[in-house]
Each structure stands twice: as C-alpha cells, then as structure tokens.
Structure 1
C-alpha cells in the first residue's frame, strides 16, 4: 500500500480534530454549486443541514485559504497523508462552501481541491437545483466538472442525460467566473423539459445542449417529443430559463375562412444598468432587486404566421420597445395576408361585386414617441390598412379583448412639439382617409348623413354575399401639410389680477370639398388664425370662485380653388340633384354649378370671404358646497363676421369639417351647468351635466345640438365585489335646415351600463354591458342616428358568466343580443374553456355569430335566408408554461375609483373621470 494509511474511526477522527486543529471546522453552506446534473425530487434525502450523529470532519491542513469543508461517512474515512487524499468507502457526504455532494464511494484530493464520486450521486444547490448521476468529477477551484448518467433540475427546468453514453460524458460544466457563478454547461445527447413528471409530457432532445444558468438554453439538432413520440425537428432551438416559453399555437375552424392555424414566437431583449457603482451584477440579481437596477432598454417582438385553408397565407409581427431610459418608446404592428378570394362591393354601386383572385391585404400600425431633449418631443401615429374589413374578416379571430370590426378611418400623423413652462409650439403633419361614396351628399338630411359606412345604404338586399369594401371607397378627407400651432400659458400681468393668453395657428390644409371620393372638388386652404384673451379670477371665499375671460381674434384663409368643378350633364336645368345612383334619394341639390340649396337658403363657394374676425366671452362659476358636492355653471358667447369657409360648411350641415379641415372658432351661444358628487368611501361618483343652445333659429344649422342632459354614476362597494358604471345622454339636434319645411328638433337617448360582480370566493363572476341609442318620435324619413354609424345598432346587450371549475378549469360564456329597426335577435354566442395542463395552458373557444346586417329579421319566415345564417368558429390554442407558473385563471380584479385616484396622486397627476356630456 502506498504511504501510511490511517484507518480512522468516527470517534478517533473527532479526537484528532479536537487535539490537532482546534477551532478549525469546515462548515456547510445553505446553497449548492455545480450545474444541472440530474433531475430528482429527493428533498427528504437531501437536507442541506449537517447530521448530528455522523462521523466528524477529517482535517485538511493543506487546503487552500482554509476554505470551509466537511466530510462525513456512514462508516469510516481513509486519509492518505502521503498523497493527501481522503477516501470514502461507504455512503459519504461532502459540504464545500455552497456545494452539497453525496455518493456511495468518494475520493477527495486535498491538494488540488477536486472530488471524484461514484454510485447514486446526489448534488444540491439551494432550494432550486437537485441533481443525480452515476459518476462525477469536479474541481472546486476551477469550477469545472463532468458527469455520466446525469439527471437533474435547474430551477423549473429539468435535464435528462444520456443513459447509454459510452465515451463522452453527458454533462460538462465549464469554468466559473471570479465570483464562482457558473458561466455555461454543455450536455451531450441529452433532453430538457419543464415537466416534473417521471415520464414528462414533453421534452426537447439535442445532440448538444448549451446551458447558461439563470439565462438561456441553446440546443443543436433539437427533436421535440410529446408523450415520448417525436413530433418536430429543428436544426437549432433556444429557450429562456427565466421567462415563459416564446412559442404559441392556435388552430381553429371558421365557416368563411375554413380551417386555420397560427404559430407565434416571442423574443424579448433588455439591458439593465445599476443605479449605484456596482462593477458587475448577475442576471438573477436584477430579478431579485429591481430597486438597485434600472432598465436602459427593453423590447418584445412577437412574430406569427397564419394559414387559412379557404383564403391563403398571412404573416406579421408586433414589436413593443423602449430605449435610452424610455426616451424612445412605441409599438409597431405589421401584417400581410395574401387573400385568394376577396369579394368586395364596387365603390360606385352597392349592387356590383368585384372578385379579386389574389388580393394583398395588410395593416401597418405605429405608435412612437421620442423625447429628443427635455423640451422637444416627436410623436408618430400610423393606422393604415388595405381595406376596412381586414380586422372583421381575419385579425379579430385572434383578439377577443379589442375587436375593431370595420375600421371607417385610416390615418398617418406626425407631430414635433416644443414645450416650455410658459408656452408650447407644435408642427403637425397628418393625412386621414374615410369610407365614403362617389357622390355629393346632402349633409342636411339625416338619412344621407348616415349611409356612407353601410354597404347597402338603401337596404335593397339584392346581393346575398356582402363581404366588404374595396380600398377605393376610402377618400382623403384631411391633410395637414403642415399645421403650426403656438400657444402660451396664462401669464399674470404684473401686479394686476389679470392673466393673458395667446395662440397662433398657421395652416396649409386640404379641403376635401363635398365629395369624399372624387378629387376634382379638392382645394388647399392656407391661412393664419390669431387669438388673444384676458382672464380674471375672483375668489369670493375658499368655496366659491368666478372666472371671466374675454378674447378677440382674426383669421385669414385662402382656398386654392374657388369652384368645385363638378361635371353636370349638358343642358342641365337648375335646381338639379347631382346623384350618381339611380335612386333620387339623398343627394345635394344645386341652384347653379357652385351654389347649393340648404332648405331654401343658398350657399355658394364664391361667397366665401378670405378674412374672418371674431370676439368671445366666457363666465365660469365654481362652487364647492361641501367636500363631496361640487357644482359649476359656464356661459359661452362668440360672435364673428359672416361667410367664412368654416361657416360655409357648417351651414350645409357638415359638422365634421371642423375636424377635417380646421377647428374654426365659429359663432356660439351656450349655457352649461353640472353637479359632481364624489365619495372615496363607499367609492361613489355621481354627476349631472346639462346645456342649452341660446342661438336663434336663423343661426342654427342642420345637425347642430340644441340641448343635452347627461347623468352618470360610478359605484364600487367596499368589498370590491361589485362595480356599476352608468352613463346616459338625452340630446336634441336640429334635423334639416331651419328654413326647410321638414325642419324639426330630433331627440335622442344614448346610454351605457356596465356592471360586474365577483364574490369574495372568486369562484365565479358575471358581467353585463348594455349600450345603445334610441330616436324619440322618429319620422319615417329620418335616420336612426346622426353621424356615421357603421352598424346601425340600436341596442346591444352582452352578458358574461364565468366560473372556476376545480383547480384546473376556467369556463366562461358570453351572449350578445342586438335590437335594430329591421328586427332583433342574438348575434353572438361564445364559450371559452381554459385548462391548466401542467406544462401548457389550453384554450378552447367555440362561437356562433351573425354578420351585423344578418341579425334575424322578424319580417322574414325563410330560414334559409342568408340573414339568418350563423357563422361558426372553433379555436384551440396552446401556450407553454412552467409547472408552477402562475396563470391568469379565475376572475379579473375590480379597480375602484379610489384606486384610480390614488394611482394618479402617486404619479403626480389629477384623476378626472371622463363623463358623457363634458
């Protein structure tokens, strides 16, 4: 035998240690190093604490830096003084710093600080890492090692080694950094999974697995197994160890689209920096202490590919980002779909269908903000698409939270803003398109003003298949190229009680004319608008305040074309209705080529003047009756010269021109008042607003509002189990011009109600949402609503009921009922089942829906009629998850008004509820 071998019993070892190296005990740590070797659930066998009745430690006098070490054995240990080796012939345990090792046989080299272990090896690192192996070699100093027959767990990820290895070990741990954190590990012919079952539901096997602890895993020649059946192969694959799986899968079937599938992949990137002087930090430190580190940049991109058996392929990406400490942030959403069969209406006639054999449908949505300096900001908003129905036909299938249905407008907007405490300047570029018809509408007619978004405005129903709009139905309604605005804050004039305010607007904007589609009547309006005001505030007491403001202004505008250039048939006899349709309904009547009749009043583009002067006054009285009840009354009056271009369009009933062309300061005479009752407890906010138009009949034009009353209540109980939000508006609008024989005030009621109840057990929840409008004493020739109503819905009731069924299931059902003039009926039925499958979250959704125009017609007895046909949609999706990852199961959270107020106060802002009627 080489050297002198001393067989030391347990008691002898304890005595020798006490006599020779008193006080030098090598104690264990609560954590464990080494990298993933094995996957076990051996918490009972793998305690990190020191056993009380086992052999004491063998001294190691030559151990470098006297690092903490403890070795115990079930029987005895051999120590070779000549070679400086410690042998464990039976079950032996080792604690070294943060490493715990247990094996049937063990040899420890004190000089090189290395260990070799054989047989039923168990290793442990903290509470998150458990390993087993057949044999192990490991260098404590270098942080290097390898293992054969390894299985293990690294956090929530499990490693399954190659059980049939011959020459190369299945696991190799490479060097550690200076803080003894492992840099990377290599596993050969091994698998990894997040399933903790002995036979996992799924696993990914690779010829080489490169593992970066607490970061990411890379796999070469990856084969995906589901229930031990290979289902997919990829040359390379990567996955994060600290984030959810980036993959998502959706499969489904739709009556119109056929079978469809979406495969998505999500990638995140981030860059953190320490707030203090910290030389180096580990990724796990960032997750543990967010207060010490700040994110310099972050981003998330989700790519996806779609296939529809009846329509074709689609692909897209969504990228959300923020760079340089939130100085540059935004969202980019792109999508393209090669539609093999897209049937649309002809833009000039509702009875002709044009069938495109291969139509590229797409969207481009961008929301970006850059803080260039402390004073200068750049904002870009893009909402562009190929046609209005791409969301309704395709993309709404994948989004149950924010369905866009038909999109009546698309726009591009960019603004450069310079902001100081005293003033603000903005340079605005904008281009906006809206669905229209190739005709000159009669804006004074309620019916004509409500038809542009309807595929079949005259409801002839001659065409059964109504798929949507062609892109040519979009007309350019606004273009600001550019518009510059400069406005000041309210300045106090010396020691006087007066405040002054100024604003200047310089614009070069498009005037779309009267025909949205045709460009012949377009013109450019260039001008300047200057306004100056004085404000005085009188405080009667801490509870009562009066604010008075007077202002004067003037504008100069020049239209590049003083004629609409409409093509009238040769020999036209005026008055003449210019209508491209065969129906003589709802088109403008011309007194001559550039003069339009609004009732009996004639309005000509030639009468528009280039200059416009105005003056206004405002009185505002605010009273705080109690700490919970506030009241206010406001009086507004503005008078201006006649025949401005803004008044010209207003007199024709085109109230939206101020939104499209320029927000002209037109004559007005209003009195408005309101009461606001606010209690933080019991979380109640009630309000009542109202207003009345004091203008005379000759100064009121078609579609102007004459009066309104708007009550509302928002209530949440203290237990946060019930929330109610109710708002209504009763309004009267001018129908037709006041000089028209059909002139009248048309009354409407608009209302919304949202209620939600979630018991404290949160085992079930319910929601109801009611919205709609009703015309009071509606005439046969009047439309059901004003403005552009793309659906024509009068009432919509949506009820939702959900429940948690056991620990694994969520079930939710929703029914939508619609009431229309043509009839009423259920338009949507939806059932959603969510199941936690341990390694996945599965969503199953079945829905039945009818097109907006196909809701059941009470007057029809034909069950085969297209308007009674249901569209069916079945959808199944899978999202990867870790076994113990928290999912969004159960009822949503109710947020009270007090929560909103508190959140606003923390951010230094003021919470102001948005109310109908303000």
Structure 2
C-alpha cells in the first residue's frame, strides 16, 4: 500500500498518501473560476392551460429537449465533463372545484417520461499510479477525521455510508406527481392556503443521482430535473390596493422519510415578508425574514447535522415614470446557528456553516433610446476569522456596464474591479480586473432597455379569475 500504514475511516481504510495536511484555512484561490453553463441547445415547447370544453379541467404539456454540459463533480476541471442529451415530456390535468363563495380547491395530476443520457459514464478521476482502494480523493485530515471523496474503485464513491456510481444510472426515467392547493378568501385583501406537493419516480435517473449526492446546483446548471418530493405548505397572503401594501407568512415541512432525505436538502422553513409601493409604482420597499432547517451531509454520515439558519433582507428601488434613470439597493444576510461536528463555529468560515452577507447598490442612466450606463457595487463577507484572529472573506466588486438595445436582445459590456481586501502576503490590496460581455434575449412584452416597470395599472384581484386567485 502506498505511504505505509492504512488509516481507518469509519470501517473503511484509505491510502494515507492521498491525505493532504496543508492548511486550507484561506480557501480556494480567487484565480480559479467555474466554467460557464453550456446549453447547446435546450429547446422548450409548452402549451397554455387548455380547458377541456366546459368541464372544470385544464390540460398542459411541456417538452424539453437538451444537449447540455454536465460539469461533473469538479466544476473548475474538465476531466469529468460530459454532455447530456435527451428529452423530458411532461403532461398534466388540472381540476378546479369551487366550494362556496370563498373556497377553491385546485389539484394537478401530472405524468412525465424521458431519456437523459450522459455521453461518458465515468468521472475519470485522476488517481496516482498504483493507488489502492478505498482511496480518499484530495482528502484532508481534520483533527482525527479524514474528510474527502472516498473511492471504492475508479468509478464508485461514498456519500455517507451509501455507494454511488454513474454506471448505475439508467438513461430512461418516469415520474408522476400531485399538486393540490386549497385556497380560502378570508376577506377582500386576506387569503389563506394549504398546499400538498408529492412526486415519485424512478430512483436510478441522472437527476435523482445528483440529488442523492447533494449536488443541488445541477438543477440550475445542467437541467431542472423533476425529482421525488413530498411537501406540505401553508400560508397567509395579504394584498391591499390602497395603500399598496403586501404581506405574507408561509411555512413548509418536508414529509419525506429519513431514508429519503438527501445532503443539502431543505427540511422545513418559515418565512415572513412585507412590501410597499407608491401609487405611481416609482418607489418600492421590501423586507423579510426567514428561518430554515437544512440537512448537511447524508443522514448516514457520522458527521451529519441539521443546520438552522436565519435569513433576512431589505431592498428598495426608485424609478421615475420617464425611467431615464434609476437606483436600487438591497441587503441580504444569513446567520447559521449550528456548529459543524467536525469543528468550527459559524464564525470560522466553514463552507457549509459560515455566515454570509451581501449588500448591493446600483444606479443607472439611459443615454438616448438605445444605450444605458450603469454602475453597480456589491460588498460581500462571510464574517469569519482565521486562526490568527484576522478577518477574512471580505470582497467588494464594482462594475461599470454599458447596455445596448438590439431590438430583440440586450448586449452588455462590463468592466469590473474585484477587491478582496489585504493580501495574505503583504499589506497591499489584493485586486483584479474583469471584462465581460453578455447577450440576453428579451421576454415577450419587454420593450426598450431595462428596468421594465409597469406603471399603467394598479394591482386588483377583481381582474383575476378564480383559477388565478384560487378564491
């Protein structure tokens, strides 16, 4: 065995040569960047809600055909990259039952089938010659625990005590779901709802594979897979026309059994928020607070725990009726309440449990009918300290953006300064510059340059039917 004596890891044995003893408290270098999303292409065909004659039933269909990049487990490397090709066909029937003058029950029954095939059924791990298994890939020794990706062979790895391999993924999949919402209109401004969402499908699909290992970003980056879920949710919604006030309280609980909970999955939440806009919709203020419980690491992992987090935000915007200039600001904060069993409090910068804050400010000016200049700044911090007691993880990004309206698309050229504070090697500022160009297609109904703000009609529930309002 390489490196001499084996090191125990919860019943498994790993190669000590794979363990890194280097101090990683300063995190990953800021010179490393993740690869961009590649959808070459993703085509979506979707129908409206089509009523079946005079019956209280509506039919809906959507078809997604994809040729998208899967970045694998290492988003900054290319060895485990592969394209995923296939389709996802989903059809549903929605039924609406009106109960009295104030209550409505809307229930959707859906069925989906598809094929998603990865062109390479291996992550192609870069292992040293003569490596023996089990092997910890880029492992770290924290106290007496060895933490890392534990490989049982070249394609099979551990998440908790469970084994996973791409070779076990079946390209074909099927699923069915039910989404039922009971809405009660308490008054003209106040309504209450209770909702149950349930979906069950084949458990060997590519989407379920990534959810089971805790790769939640895959649903944003590769494809928004419709994976298994079971949720009960309830809330109060308040909409007042004059003054223009909105408020809401919502809570939800994950009904899946302990054996079905996956790493990073949300277990329960409670949120409250409020907003106000003036009559001309030129000035708006919003705020909210939320408490959530999330599963960190697989429940079978000896170091698993539930992270309780408090989130709160404030935001404001000002856009005159002529929209020749605009300004907005927002602040978002996360405070984690639980410490990692491996050691370290939320103030010590662990990627899973650190505290985060983001403060944004944007001001823009339109230049004629085709151009707009914008200055945006963001301050972010993980509110952490290193072993020397020095603050770290504080970043300031400032961008100057020039936008151009090309009728159906918006082109943006951005020049930015990224300031990560004092260098860890000397007292100078550690800064870098970035130049970006992006193109964004407009949505139907959007004209000219952003921001797109509706100022003609005030919100009125009387303009919506029972299917939209549920009451």
Please tell me the TM-score bracket, short chain as reference: 0.5 to 0.7
In the alignment, what sits opposite 1:544? Answer: 103
Q: 5+ residue gaps in structure 2?
A: 1-21, 319-327, 362-376, 397-416, 432-452, 465-471
2:132 is paired with a residue whose SS is coil
Alignment equivalent of 2:64, drawn from 491, 502, 505: 505
CA contact (8 A) 1:818 1:824 kept: no
Cα 1:610–1:574 change in 2 (3 A) is same
Q: How far has the Cα of 1:853 moved from its partner?
A: 4.7
| Structure 2 counterpart SS, 1:476 | coil
Equivalent in the alignment of 2:209:
648
Counterpart Cα distance in 2 of 1:794 and 1:592: 37
Separation of aligned partners in 2, 1:492 and 1:719: 36
Cα distance in 2 for partners of 1:604, 1:556 equals 18
Find 2:123's aligned residue among 558, 561, 564.
564
Give me the whole-angstrom Cα distance separating, in 2, the residues matched to 1:567 and 1:870: 32
Q: Which residue does 2:437 correspond to in 1?
A: none
CA distance in 1: counterparts of 2:383 and 2:421, whole angstroms: 10
**Does the alignment pair 1:578 with 2:137?**
yes
Aligned pair 1:668/2:229, yes or no?
yes
* Counterpart in the other structure of 2:383: 820
Q: CA RMSD in A?
A: 4.3
- Contact kept, 8 Å, 1:795 with 1:819, in 2: the verdict is yes
- Between 1 and 2, higher relative CO (CA 8 Å, sep ≥ 6) is seen in 2
TM-score (norm 1): 0.35
Offset at residue 607 of structure 1 (A): 0.7
Within a 5 Å distance, the mapping from 1:716-755 to structure 2 comes to 725-754=286-315
1:658-807 equivalences under 5 Å are 658-715=219-276, 725-754=286-315, 770-779=331-340, 781=343, 784=346, 794-795=356-357
> Is 2:10 aligned against 1:458?
no
- 1:460-609 correspondence to structure 2 within 5 Å: 460=26, 468-469=30-31, 473-476=32-35, 478-579=37-138, 587-609=148-170
- Mapped to 1, the partners of 2:291 and 2:284 lie a distance apart of 24
Q: How far apart, CA to CA, are the structure 1 residues paired with 2:291 and 2:382?
A: 19
The 1:569/1:850 distance shift into structure 2, 3 A limit, reads closer
Please state whether the residue corresponding to 1:529 is helix, strand or coil.
strand
- Output one character per residue of 1:53-79: Cα deviation in whole Å (capped at 9) or x when no partner: xxxxxxxxxxxxxxxxxxxxxxxxxxx
Match of 1:633 among 177, 194, 202: 194
Cα distance change on mapping 1:570 and 1:509 into 2, 3 Å: same
* Deviation at residue 674 of structure 1 after TM alignment: 1.8
* Cα deviation, residue 644, structure 1: 0.7
Query: How far 1:522 moved relative to its partner?
Result: 2.1
Does the C-alpha gap of structure 1 residues 627 and 459 become closer, same or farther in structure 2, counting only changes over 3 Å? same
**Structure 1 residue 533 displacement after superposition:** 1.1
Give the alignment of 1:45-194 within 5 angstroms: none
CA distance in structure 2 between the aligned counterparts of 1:782 and 1:482, rounded to whole angstroms: 43
Change (3 A) 1:725 1:512: closer
Does the 8 A contact of 1:485 with 1:505 survive in 2?
yes
1:569 Cα deviation after fit: 1.9
Render the CA deviation track for 1:144-195: whole Å, top value 9, x for unaligned. xxxxxxxxxxxxxxxxxxxxxxxxxxxxxxxxxxxxxxxxxxxxxxxxxxxx
Deviations, residues 469-494 of structure 1 (Å, cap 9, x unaligned): 2xxx3443632222222121121223
Matched, 1:903 2:462: no
CA distance in 2 between counterparts of 1:618 and 1:474 reads: 39
How far does residue 778 in structure 1 lie from its aligned partner after superposition? 2.3
Distance 1:580 1:700, change over 3 A: closer
Number of residue pairs matched by the alignment: 364
Contact preservation (8 Å) 2:335, 2:355: no
Match of 2:447 in 1: none
Partner Cα separation in structure 2 for residue 769 and residue 502 of structure 1: 37
Structure 1 gaps of 5+ residues are 1-455, 758-766, 800-813, 830-848, 858-863, 872-899, 912-918
Compute the displacement of 1:557 (Å). Answer: 2.3
Say which SS state the counterpart of residue 519 (structure 1) adopts.
coil
User: Does the 8 A contact of 1:555 with 1:612 survive in 2?
Assistant: yes
- Secondary structure of the 1:579 match is strand
1:618–1:634 CA contact under 8 A, matched in 2 = yes
CA deviation string 1:421-455 (max 9, x = no partner) = xxxxxxxxxxxxxxxxxxxxxxxxxxxxxxxxxxx
> d(CA) in 1 for partners of 2:66 and 2:240?
45
Q: CA deviation at 1:783?
A: 8.2
Aligned-pair CA distance for 1:902: 5.1
8 Å CA contact 2:139–2:149 kept in 1: the answer is no
1:622 equivalenced with 2:183 (yes/no): yes
Give the Cα separation in 2 of the matches to 1:819 and 1:570. 39
Instruction: Give the 3-state SS of the residue equivalent to 1:648 in structure 2.
Output: helix
Deviations 1:403-432 (A, max 9, x none): xxxxxxxxxxxxxxxxxxxxxxxxxxxxxx
Residue 552 of structure 1 and its aligned partner are, at CA, apart by 1.2
Aligned counterpart, 2:15 = none
2 CA distance for matches of 1:671 and 1:772? Answer: 26
Shift of 1:679: 2.1
Q: Structure 1 pair 853/625, CA: closer, same or farther in 2 (3 Å)?
A: same
CA apart distance, 1:655: 0.7
- Structure 1 residue 571: Cα displacement: 2.5
Residues in 1 aligned to 2:87 and 2:60: alpha-carbon distance in whole angstroms:
17
CA separation in 2, counterparts of 1:797 and 1:519?
33
**Inter-CA distance 604–819: structure 2 relative to 1 (3 Å threshold):** closer
Distance in 2, Cα, partners of 1:706 & 1:582: 30
SS of 1:562's equivalent? Answer: coil
Deviation at 1:739, TM superposition (A): 0.7
Q: Distance in 1 between matches of 2:84 and 2:72?
A: 11
- Whole-angstrom CA distance in 2 between matches of 1:484 and 1:600: 38
* Residues 18-73 of structure 1: per-residue CA shift (max 9 Å, x gap): xxxxxxxxxxxxxxxxxxxxxxxxxxxxxxxxxxxxxxxxxxxxxxxxxxxxxxxx
The CA deviation at 1:751 is 0.8
Give the distance between the partners of 2:291 and 2:227, measured in 1 at CA: 24
